[in-house]
Amino acid sequence: MVRATALAALALFSASGVAWGEEVTVGATQVTSFMGAALDAPVGGLVFRGGIAMLAPDDRFGGLSGLAITGPAQQVTFVTDRGNFVSGRLSYDDGGRLFGLIGVSLDPILNSKGAPLPRQYARDAESIDTLYRDGVASGVRVSFEHLTRVADFSLADARPVGAAREIALPQWLSDLRTNKSLETLCVAPPTSPVAGSTVLITEDAPDQAGNHRGWMLGQADKGPLSYRASAGTYPTDCAFLPNGDLLVLERGLSVLGFSMAIRRVPADQVQPGNTLDGALILSAGGGAIDNMESLAVHTAPDGETRILIGSDNNFNDWQRSLLLEFALPQ
C-alpha cells in the first residue's frame, strides 16, 4: 500500500510538468574536532563523532533549515529557506565517520495544487520530520514560517514528492505571519506516551510567562504547550530519541556570533498543557558552529543511535553548511 501510494504520487508529480530530482554535486570536508574535543571525546553531555562541512557549485544548495531521515539506508531530506527539498544519502568512511552527502537531488516544494510555491513569502520551510505507517517511512511533515502552516507530502524512493496536504492549525498559530513563527516540528515515535503526535514550537511567540508557545497535533493528544529555552536562545528544531525523550535545539545570536544549546525533555513531560523544561546536554559557540537550525536522530551504519545537528548558511558565502554528529554516552 505504501509503495503504491508513493508511485501514484510520483506519477502525479511528473504529470505536473515540474522537473523531478535535479542532481546537485555536493562536496564535503570532514570536521574532526568540536569545541576543543577530538573525535570520540565527550563534549557536554554528548560524545563527538565527527561531521562534515558541505559545499556545492549550485547556488540553490543552501539555507538548509530542517532535516529528516527518510529511508533505511541513510537517506535524508533537508528543507530550505527558498522552498526546496534537498535529498541524498549520508556516506560513512571505513571508520564509521560521516564522510559526505551523495546522490543529492533538488526538488521544488509544491503547493496543494501541485505547482511550485509562487512567492518567497510562502517558501520559507523551516522544519521537517518523517511520518511512518506500519514501521515504514510513508511521508514527511513540514512546517513553514512567514505564511505559517504545516503540510504533509508523500515519499517516493525516500524523496518527498507531490502536492502538499495542509494540516489544520489553531487560529492563533495560523495568524502568526513573521519569520519567527513556526520554526520547530517533530513527530513522536511509537515508544512515546504521545506516539504519532506532532510537537510544534514557535521561535518567538511568548506566552504570559515568557515561554515559547507551542501546540500538539494528535488524535488523542491535542492542545497547547509551552517551551522554556535557555536565556538568549530560541528553539529552532526538535527530534525524539528512541525512548521517547524529546531533544530541542536552540540557537542564539550576538555581536560575538552564533551560540547553540540542546535540551533533553523527559518523555512523560511531553503532554498538552505542560511547559517543557529540559536538562541542558550541550552548549557551544564561536567557530565550532554556525547558524544551527536542524536536528535529527538516526541509527548509524554501526548500529549506534546518533544525533545530527545542521546549520543554515542563509545562502551567504561567509557562512557554512555544517552537519555535525554526536552520540549519547554509554
User: What is the mean predicted confidence (pLDDT) over 280-288?
Assistant: 96
Q: What is the mean pLDDT of the chain?
A: 93
**pLDDT > 70 fraction of the chain, expressed in percent and rounded:** 94
Q: Residue 10: what pLDDT? A: 45
| Number of domains the chain is built from | 1
Contacting residues for 51 by C-beta, under 8 A, at least 6 apart? 30, 31, 34, 98, 322, 323, 324, 325
Give me the CATH number covering residue 311.
2.115.10
Whole-model pTM: value is 0.94
More reliable by pLDDT, 254 or 169: 169
Residue (of 266, 322, 324) closest to 291 by Cα position: 322
Q: Residue 20: what pLDDT? A: 64
11 pLDDT exceeds 50?
no
Query: What are the tens digits of pLDDT across the range 41-95?
Result: 999 999 999 999 999 999 999 999 999 999 999 999 999 999 999 999 999 999 9
Residue (of 325, 326, 323) closest to 55 by Cα position: 323
Q: Residue 13: what pLDDT? A: 44
Query: What are the tens digits of pLDDT across the range 118-161?
Result: 999 999 999 999 999 999 999 999 999 999 999 999 999 999 99
Query: What are the tens digits of pLDDT across the range 212-251?
Result: 999 999 988 999 999 999 999 999 999 999 999 999 999 9
Q: Residue 19: what pLDDT? A: 52
> pLDDT class for 330, splitting at 50, 70, 90?
confident
Alpha helix (H) residue ranges in the chain: 2-15, 120-123, 171-174
- For 56-122, the DSSP string reads -SSTTS--EEEEEE-STTSEEEEEETTSEEEEEEEEE-TTS-EEEEEEEEEEEPB-TTSSB-SSHHH
Query: What are the tens digits of pLDDT across the range 24-33?
Result: 999 999 999 9
Q: Residue 256: what pLDDT? A: 80
Query: What are the tens digits of pLDDT across the range 307-329?
Result: 999 999 999 999 999 999 999 99
Range of the domain at 200: 2-327
Residue (of 130, 202, 193) closest to 169 by Cα position: 202
